[in-house]
Amino acid sequence: MANSPTVWVLNGPNLNLLGEREPDTYGGETLADIEKRCAKVAKQAELALEFRQTNHEGELVAWIQESRESAAGLAINAGAYTHTSVAVHDALRLLTIPIVEVHLSNIFAREEFRHHSYVSAAATGVICGFGGDSYILALQALNNIISDEN
């Protein structure tokens, strides 16, 4: 969408296997299903959407850096790097755009090692526990912030 603000949605490791990965925890939707739903919501909000997934920490860091140049807002599900990556935290700290941390599962109701997030301290807000809807809620939150800014 020409001239529309672009919202980036970045996904970390193992999220490419949604649908077959622990469906009791993450639901039956694939990442492509979630991307399709995000595209619909973005279109309705007149936002452009950049949706990516990687299994590599360095690539995720590079994309976060790249989003500085072209994103009006960022939703990020860093997967397991949420709980381990100072590099992801530091990259997010470089951004001045709104950041929403996203998780399909409620990380606070799961194993203790998932209760700490390196993303949270760099994020504007956190949405977790609503399955694929967490992404939709994150886009709505970003849209509200971006609309208020303009």
Chain positions contacting ligand DQA, by CB under 6 A: 14, 77, 79-80, 82, 103-105, 107, 114
Of 26, 81, 118, 135, the catalytic one is 26
With beta carbons less than 8 A apart as the criterion, state whether 64 and 56 touch.
no
Q: Compute the least distance from the CB of residue 37 to ligand DQA, in Å.
A: 15
43 near 8, Cβ under 8 Å?
no
Q: How far is the CB of 10 from ligand DQA (least distance, A)?
A: 12
- Cα–Cα distances (Å) from 1 to 27, 43, 115, 146, in that order, read 31, 9, 38, 16
Kindly state the smallest distance separating residue 71's Cβ from ligand DQA, in Å: 20
Nearer CB in complex with ligand DQA: 7/10: 10
Whichever of 8 and 146 has its CB closer to ligand DQA, that residue is 8
Reply yes or no on whether 103 is catalytic: yes
CA distance 8 to 11: 10
Q: Which amino acid is at 53?
A: Q
Task: Name the catalytic one among 81, 83, 89, 103.
Answer: 103
Quick one: 17 or 145, whose CB is closer to ligand DQA?
17
DSSP 86-97: HHHHHHHHT--S
Catalytic residue numbers read: 26, 103
